[in-house]
Amino acid sequence: MEKELKEAYGFLFEKELLKEIVEVGTYRSVPAGEKIMDIGSYVNSMPLMLTGAIKILREDSEGNELLLYFLERGDTCAMTLSCCLGQTKSEVRAVAETDTHLIMIPIGKMEEWTAKYKSWRNFVFESYSTRLSEMLDTIDTIAFLNMDERLMRYLRDKAKITGDETIQNTHQQIAYDLHTSRVVVSRLLKKLELEGKIKLQRNQIQVIDL
């Protein structure tokens, strides 16, 4: 854990803070597809991403999901921070997009470290700013882009997150993330393939136009 922590956060945090994280943090290994946090649950710790990727989702009254943003190595979740500090229930769902390793930090340390370590304070504020920007970007995408543009953007983001131009998701899984129907996704994927932007295979999509 200590080696992974230094690789992901060594350039951000003081040595003293890194030492405290090792002492109080809980190491978690989460396989792809596993739920890390669910809507309506109380949050008693915040994650520090070491490896892998997590997708953060919202859900409407009918149970349909919408992808808000991804978390990668060196990230934390602003929504989790808000829930921790406010001791409120989570309004988002966190699911491992790939096999993921993270460190869970107890709530009590968050405020203590904010006062004690400048690097931690900057990290928390920067995390809020970055996640807010990503959520605004998601809103802009929904409001101003056509569905085929949203889909292509989603595919590029997935390829970047996983580090692989071949995406393993089914059409139905993509439809869940984009809050649309499988039929629409399948039709638009075929359109994108005809345009030479992707190549369709069985349960795989190769992104050509990165």
pLDDT given for residue 84 in this prediction: 64
Within its chain, how far is the Cα of 46 from the centroid?
A: 13
Place of tokens 């596993």: 34
Place of tokens 């802009």: 140
Judge contact between 125 and 76, C-beta under 8 A. no
pLDDT given for residue 65 in this prediction: 83
pLDDT given for residue 53 in this prediction: 92
Which residue in 161, 160, 164, 171 sits closest to 202, CA to CA?
Answer: 171
Q: What is the pTM of this model?
A: 0.77
Place of tokens 């769902």: 93
pLDDT given for residue 34 in this prediction: 94
pLDDT given for residue 86 in this prediction: 62
* pLDDT beneath 70, residues of the chain: 83-87
- Write out the two tokens for 93: 């769902």
- The 10 Å Cβ neighbour count of residue 126 is 13
User: CA 191, CA 74: separation in Å to the nearest integer?
Assistant: 36
Q: 152-186 as b/e, with b when 16 or more CB fall inside 10 Å? A: bebbbebbebbeebebebebeebbbbbbbeeebbe
pLDDT given for residue 22 in this prediction: 94
pLDDT given for residue 85 in this prediction: 64
pLDDT given for residue 133 in this prediction: 87
- Write out the two tokens for 69: 């943003």
Place of tokens 């003081």: 14
